[in-house]
Amino acid sequence: MRFFLLLGLGLAGLVACSTTTKVISSSGDGGPGDTSSLPEIPADQLGAACSGFGTSPGDSALFDSDMCPAGACLADARTGFDLYCSADCDNARCPKGYLCQDVSLGGPKRACFRDPNPPPDTTDAGTDSGDAGVKSFLDVRLPAYKSGSATKTDLALRDYQDPTAAKRDLVIVLVDSAWSTYDQKQLQDLDAATYSRVEIVSVLMDGPMTGKGATASDFAQWHAKYTHVDMALDSLLAALGPGLGQITAVPSWFVFDAKTMKQIATDMGYMMPSMLGSTIESWRALAK
């Protein structure tokens, strides 16, 4: 049994439900032929993270999703696992960095897949601003506390990367809201449980009221309750949201392979310790 606290317009609704995963197969890497006369899909509609979907290894699947600007979330498990916003390219061209490839069942015949060998980006070529800037949401530094410490610091999700898997297999981002009773219960449970070679990082999104971003004071109080967990503050998920995707329920889980920091799974809802243990092992298998 899985429990969710849904995010709404000032209303937190408690729903008890079981989850299912829809699987759609894909065949081939076909293309739509000459697309020069078709309109191009805006690049900013593609690539953001979406959640709640999956497919079998070797397959791909396209799902309707209101998390994505073009209304489609692509689960690509042909090699590894990718889950990101995509678009139907039956009657449009994919932008640079994406390939229009076949999705054989469950919707449009084709979708925009990330190009594994994208053309080089020549934007601003030859200039040097002296500051490379933040290239990924994984590199954004957030106010933070490390477990067992009362000293405020900062961290980026990239800090947890372990390229040789010397210490950890998984990095799990647990997005929380202070108003959620199940987020509170989840963090309490983590104090009594031990999961080897896994780093769980709580990211506080909302304060004590639904839809109200957490403040520095809310964050300090949250840390004081749960000092056993590394945690960061991202009010309303303004910094990580573009990478993680829209949050529709809490707690929400975003799972990364520690070696590459590639997102390999998403889930949502409170998990009892026994359930979380088995779920972590299934996630760990995806990182092998």
Q: What is the CATH number of the domain that holds 162?
A: 3.40.30.10
Q: Is 176 found in the same domain as 94?
A: no
Q: Is 246 found in the same domain as 158?
A: yes
pLDDT in tens, the chain (288 residues): 555 565 643 333 333 333 332 232 333 344 445 566 788 998 888 988 787 777 777 788 888 888 888 888 888 877 777 888 899 888 889 988 899 998 866 666 789 998 887 766 544 433 333 334 556 899 999 999 999 999 999 999 999 999 999 999 999 999 999 999 999 999 999 986 678 899 999 999 999 998 899 999 999 999 999 999 999 999 999 999 989 877 778 899 999 999 999 999 999 899 998 889 999 999 999 987
DSSP state of 173: E
What angle do the packed helices 273-286 and 181-192 form, to 10 degrees?
80
Position 131 in a domain:
no
- Rounded distance, CA 120 to CA 11, Å? 46
> Is the CA virtual torsion 242, 54, 111, 6 positive or negative?
negative
Q: Are 74 and 84 in contact (CB under 8 A)?
A: yes
Question: In terms of residue numbers, what domain contains 158?
Answer: 139-286
- Rounded distance, CA 284 to CA 210, Å? 33
β-bridge partners, 180: none
Q: Is 222 found in the same domain as 104?
A: no
In terms of pTM, does the model score above 0.85? no
Q: Is 190 found in the same domain as 71?
A: no
Position 90 in a domain:
yes
3-state class of 281 per DSSP? helix
Q: Is 153 found in the same domain as 239?
A: yes
Count of domains for the chain: 2
DSSP state of 88: B
Tell me which amino acid residue 90 is. D
Structure token pair of residue 171: 């990095």
Domain end point (choices 82, 117, 152): 117
Q: Is 157 found in the same domain as 104?
A: no
Distance of CA 156 to the CA centre of its chain: 15
Q: Is 164 found in the same domain as 82?
A: no
Domain end point (choices 86, 117, 148): 117
Position 104 in a domain:
yes
3-state class of 43 per DSSP? helix
Q: Is 247 found in the same domain as 199?
A: yes
DSSP state of 237: G
